[in-house]
């Protein structure tokens, strides 16, 4: 097997939603109250919804920029690659990257639809959330059959509406939903509360994967405003462990043996120690904690129910024997700053080429297909969607992958000597642009 023979599916990518997202999916009346796209006095884009202000943030969409222009400054669609917000261009960028299919999380609505949860008028929020799902499933994913795995969001503030939405989007062919890993941050009961029982039942009955995306619930913490930003970025994937431990102890897993959970953007190298520690904790403390894993070790429960995914994780791939090799998948993270676009095949091949072909096939696409009930080869022959075939198509399409400067703003003050960028710099930059946009909106 060679690099160009691989078939790659990414289970974690992102969309910066286009301004016309709701136009085809709402009545004139409800479109008037939907999230609105705007431009501030500096030409930067933002959305507003029920009094909330949501700017576009640099690191969310820096794909194709020179690395020295990465940052957290608010930006505009004109500063991004068109594939960030245009589905036809996204498919071309996927071709150039040798990736056949992708699961995409939203941005302005939140990875888990959190913007709708924060809205004061929940009746309108439900209408707009459903419209978002229609746009995502029918328009974004539906425009290129076989190239996307649809992932819906749920109105979990209303359990009856949640169950109805699960049934509705399942009928559309959606096999995944994105949830907040810690709903108490949304002023909802914890996952250990009986409130969630109807959702567990509906999710399992419709064989859906619950995606818990990093940052949707528990924050990725940084020590202080003086913490170098790279320290924060380094620990982000491992911050998933807090939510993973909580969900691993979910009693509903014992009641629903077919429950499926994906830790999105998690990495895999930390998982063997995590499961080892869970087993140790259970063995040492179960006598007084009365924890219940159905007579199994926590590691066994994890390896049955939890999918993990990786961007560039040589250590994790070298230690697959400590994981369930059937529940490890690839993620590209386009268009975020961690993405290896357009060189995913080169990086991926470097870390998997020593593995058995059977394992390579699993982690590059088979596991994603099986877990998400995604029949790629219903739409394509294998030879049409290999890395080599897709890149040849991108060449025919004239896809330009040359890095392009967009003049990304530095968080340093004008004339300030280069120094380490810290968390406080980005918070300050973000606040400045938020105030500028709010000022324009008010006046």
- Contacts for 172 with CB less than 8 Å, ≥ 6 apart: 137, 138, 150
DSSP codes joined into one string, 45-67? EEEEETTEEEE-BGGGG-TTS-G
Q: In the prediction, which pLDDT does 442 show?
A: 64
Q: In the prediction, which pLDDT does 221 show?
A: 81
Do 65 and 80 form a contact (C-beta atoms < 8 A)? no
pLDDT tops 70 at residue 59: no
175-189: string of b/e by CB count within 10 Å (b at 16+)? bbbbbbbbbeebebe
Please, which pLDDT band fits residue 58 given cuts at 50, 70 and 90? low
CATH of the domain at 369: 3.20.20.140
Residue 92: both structure tokens together: 């071309």
Q: In the prediction, which pLDDT does 236 show?
A: 86
Please state, in angstroms and rounded to a whole number, the distance separating the CA atoms of residues 441 and 41: 10
Residue 238: both structure tokens together: 């491992």
DSSP codes joined into one string, 125-149? HHHHHHHHHHIIIIIIITTSTTSEE
Q: In the prediction, which pLDDT does 49 show?
A: 96
Would you mind telling me the total number of residues written for the chain in this entry? 443
Please state, in angstroms and rounded to a whole number, the distance separating the CA atoms of residues 297 and 278: 8
Please state, in angstroms and rounded to a whole number, the distance separating the CA atoms of residues 385 and 306: 27
pLDDT tops 80 at residue 427: no
pLDDT tops 70 at residue 443: no
382-401: string of b/e by CB count within 10 Å (b at 16+)? eeebbbbbbbebbeeeebee
Residue 377: both structure tokens together: 């080869």
The single residue listed with the structure tokens 């060449």 is 395
Q: What is the DSSP letter of 366?
A: I
Distance, C-alpha 357 to centroid of its chain? 27
**What is the average pLDDT across 271-296?**
96
Positive or negative: CA dihedral 117, 118, 121, 125: negative
Do 225 and 430 form a contact (C-beta atoms < 8 A)? no
Structural domain for 149, as ranges: 3-442
Please, which pLDDT band fits residue 61 given cuts at 50, 70 and 90? confident
- What domain count does the chain have? 1
């Amino acid at each position: 097997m060679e690099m160009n023979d691989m078939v790659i599916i990414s289970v974690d990518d992102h969309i910066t939603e286009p301004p016309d997202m709701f136009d085809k999916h709402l009545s004139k009346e409800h479109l008037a109250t939907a999230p609105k796209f705007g431009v501030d006095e500096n030409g930067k884009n933002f959305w507003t919804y029920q009094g909330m202000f949501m700017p576009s943030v640099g690191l969310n969409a820096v794909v194709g920029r020179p690395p020295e222009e990465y940052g957290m400054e608010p930006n505009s669609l004109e500063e991004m690659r068109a594939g960030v917000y245009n589905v036809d261009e996204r498919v071309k960028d996927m071709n150039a990257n040798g990736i056949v299919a992708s699961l995409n999380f939203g941005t302005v609505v939140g990875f888990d639809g959190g913007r709708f949860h924060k809205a004061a008028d929940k009746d309108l929020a439900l209408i707009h959330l459903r419209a978002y799902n229609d746009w995502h499933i029918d328009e974004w994913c539906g425009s290129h059959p076989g190239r996307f795995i649809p992932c819906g969001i749920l109105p979990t503030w209303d359990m009856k509406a949640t169950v109805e939405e699960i049934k509705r989007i399942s009928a559309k062919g959606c096999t995944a939903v994105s949830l907040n890993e810690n709903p108490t941050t949304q002023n909802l009961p914890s996952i250990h509360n009986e409130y969630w029982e109807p959702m567990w039942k509906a999710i399992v009955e419709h064989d859906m994967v619950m995606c818990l995306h990093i940052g949707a619930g528990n924050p990725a913490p940084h020590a202080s405003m003086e913490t170098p930003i790279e320290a924060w970025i380094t620990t982000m994937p491992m911050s998933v462990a807090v939510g993973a431990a909580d969900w691993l102890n979910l009693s509903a897993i014992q009641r629903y043996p077919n429950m499926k959970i994906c830790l999105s953007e998690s990495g895999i190298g930390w998982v063997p120690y995590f499961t080892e520690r869970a087993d140790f904790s259970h063995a040492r403390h179960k006598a007084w904690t009365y924890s219940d894993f159905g007579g199994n070790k926590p590691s066994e429960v994890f390896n049955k129910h939890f999918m993990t995914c990786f961007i560039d994780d040589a250590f994790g791939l070298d230690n697959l024997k400590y994981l369930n090799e059937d529940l490890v998948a690839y993620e590209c993270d386009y268009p975020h700053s961690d993405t290896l676009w357009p060189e995913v095949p080169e990086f991926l091949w470097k870390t998997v080429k020593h593995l058995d072909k059977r394992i390579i096939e699993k982690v590059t696409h088979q596991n994603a297909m099986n877990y998400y009930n995604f029949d790629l080869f219903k739409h394509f022959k294998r030879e049409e969607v290999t890395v080599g075939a897709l890149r040849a198509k991108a060449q025919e399409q004239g896809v330009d992958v040359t890095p392009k400067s967009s003049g990304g703003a530095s968080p340093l003050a004008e004339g300030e000597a280069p120094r380490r960028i810290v968390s406080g710099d980005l918070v300050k930059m973000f606040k400045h642009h938020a105030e500028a946009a709010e000022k324009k909106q008010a006046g």
